[in-house]
Structure formats: C-alpha cells, structure tokens
Amino acid sequence: MEPIVNNNKKVVIFTGATDGIGRETINVLAQERGLKLILTARNIEKGNKVAEELNRDYKAKNDELEVSVMKMDMASLESIKEFVRDFKALNIPLDTLVCNAGVMPSTYQTTKEGYEHTFGINHLGTFLLTYSLVDKLNQSTFGGNIVIVASRMHYKITKLDMDHLQSNEKTFSYQNDYSRSKLCNVLFAKELDKKLRARGSNVKVNSLHPGFAVTSLIREWGYFAQKVVGAMAFVFGNKLEDMAEGMASLTLNKANETGKYYQLKRIEEPSKLSRKEGLSEQLWNKSCELLALPQELTL
C-alpha cells in the first residue's frame, strides 16, 4: 500500500466497494473533488484492481482523485481490529465511514469467531468497525458522517429476541436471517445517533435502504434462485445508477441530516418494531456484551 498522507481532503472509508452497489457508488464518488477514498477489501488484489480502474476512468476528469486500498475481512473480528489499528497508525483524520459490506448467503456458514455469517458480518462486524472509529470521526473538522447500509427487508421482522439474534444450522433461513441483520443495522444506527447526540457530538448517523437490484449479494445462490430474483428485480427493482446516486448523496450528506432512515434519496419511516421504545438500547447492550466492549462510547 502506498503511504497515505493528509492533504486536507475529506477522508472516506468505504466497505464493500469492490462489488455491486458499492462499486457503482465509488464511481460516483470518484467524480467528487476533495475526497480521499479508502476502500477496504478482503481480497487486496481485487481492491487494487478497483483502484486502478478508478484512476484510469476518472483521474483525467478529477485531478484530485485519491484512492487507497486497505485489507479487512468483515468475517473476522480480529481482521477488523487489525484494520482499525493500521488506520489509526496512519495518523490522518477520518470524516466519513460508509458501512456497506454485507452478505446474504443461501446456506448456513460461520465467521472466524463462530457467529452465523449474516449476523456476524452484517451486524457484529459493522458494529465493531463503527464503534472502534467513532473517536476518529468525532475529531473530524468537517463534522463526522456515518452511513449504515440496511434494507427495507427489515420490515419483515416483527419480533426481536436478544437471546436468539442469530440462527443455528437447523433454524437458518436466508431471508429471515438477512432481514433480522438489517433490522439490527437500523437499530444500531438509531442508538448510535442517540448516544452521540447525548454527548454533544457533531457526528451524523443515518441508515439507508439503497434499493433493489441483482448484485453480487446473491452470487452463491443456485441458478434457479438467481433467475427468480433477476425477474423480480426486472419488474420491481431499481437502476444501479439510481441506487449509487442515493448512497453517494448520503455519503456526502450535504444536508447534514442525522438519525434518519433513507430509501434511496428519500427519508422514510422505518419499521414499527425498529421504533419500539428501548429496543435499540437492548441491542446495543447485547452487542457490546458479545464483542466485549464497554457500553459507554469513548469519544
């Protein structure tokens, strides 16, 4: 990795930037001046290829374009901790964090620490990464900004049991597990915003349903399932470019909104369950317990 220096640009860490909606969003952000983009990648060669493509396609149009790639595997809590240590060792600011990386496996799998993949990556990984970088975001001279990518599938969940946040091999359901993990994303964003406001922080936190399209999220599914989803996306889905514009807009957050749930560029009401009094705090406390983190944020 080439040395990353501070030259007064907004520093953006973006997870899940090598595929799907994230990759399309990076194309939009690469045209925005004054940004330093740090892309995280489990496969560093794939990440470097994306950086090369961005420089090839956009450097001539945007001479301020600066893209770096750093290794991180969201399926490993230790890898996330190592990434945080490596980033903080750079001694540069952090202005925006976009937690876009997510999975929707068709079969039961586990993370390095033994958590069900969907819950472990989509929620616990997102929680740990964000929690660990809040102190840096709080120091942003631009005012920190956090985007938690959720999904409207969180509406499917009508009950959340803190003792059964993840499935086992017998109870696994790709739809239910994914929907529950996305509810956790919405609740996490809500509680984080609440805690930051209570501390007088200027960091903004919003969650986002980016839209519906066929992406690499379903790459592990069978042929028939992919065809069914493809047909549904053709009829009911969104254009990737519209989804990317929505995510890029919230990444820039020029309106300085916080504590909101977005669908593309519109502020919407999240599910009734996500608005249940005390539920977001319960999830926060349980997540801190699982990750062995203090419940109180360090800013």
- Tell me the HSE value of 159 on the side-chain side, using a 13 A CA sphere: 3
Residue 3 placed within a domain = no
Residue 77 belongs to a domain: yes
Within a domain: residue 1? no
Rounded Cα distance, 187 and 109, in Å: 24
pLDDT digits (tens, 9 = 90+) for 38-54: 999 999 999 999 999 99
Asked if residues 217 and 244 have their Cβ atoms less than 8 Å apart, the reply is no
Q: What is the pTM of this model?
A: 0.91
Q: How far is CA 143 from the centre of its chain?
A: 19
In whole angstroms, give the CA distance from residue 14 to residue 99. 6
The Cβ-side half-sphere exposure at 117, using a 13 Å CA radius, reads 16
Question: How do residues 197-251 score in pLDDT, each as one tens digit?
Answer: 999 999 999 999 998 644 444 455 444 444 433 333 333 445 788 889 999 999 9
Amino acid at 62: N
Q: Is 178 a catalytic residue?
A: yes
Are 65 and 59 in contact by the 8 Å Cβ rule? The answer is: yes
CATH number at residue 278: 3.40.50.720
Number of domains making up the chain: 1
| Cα separation, 36 vs 195, whole angstroms | 28
Residue at 37 is within a domain? yes
State which residues form the domain around 162.
10-291
pLDDT digits 0-9 by tens, 113-161: 999 999 999 999 999 999 999 999 999 999 999 999 999 999 999 999 9
Q: Is residue 130, in this structure, part of any structural domain at all?
A: yes
Running DSSP on this structure, what letter comes out for residue 218? G
- Residue 273 domain-assigned? yes
Residue 167, Cβ density class (10 Å: 0-12 exposed, 13-18 middle, ≥19 buried): middle
Residues 157 and 94: their CA atoms lie apart, in Å, by 34
84-107: pLDDT as tens digits: 999 999 999 999 999 999 999 989
Domain-located, residue 299: no
Choosing from 115, 174, 178, 261, the catalytic residue is 178
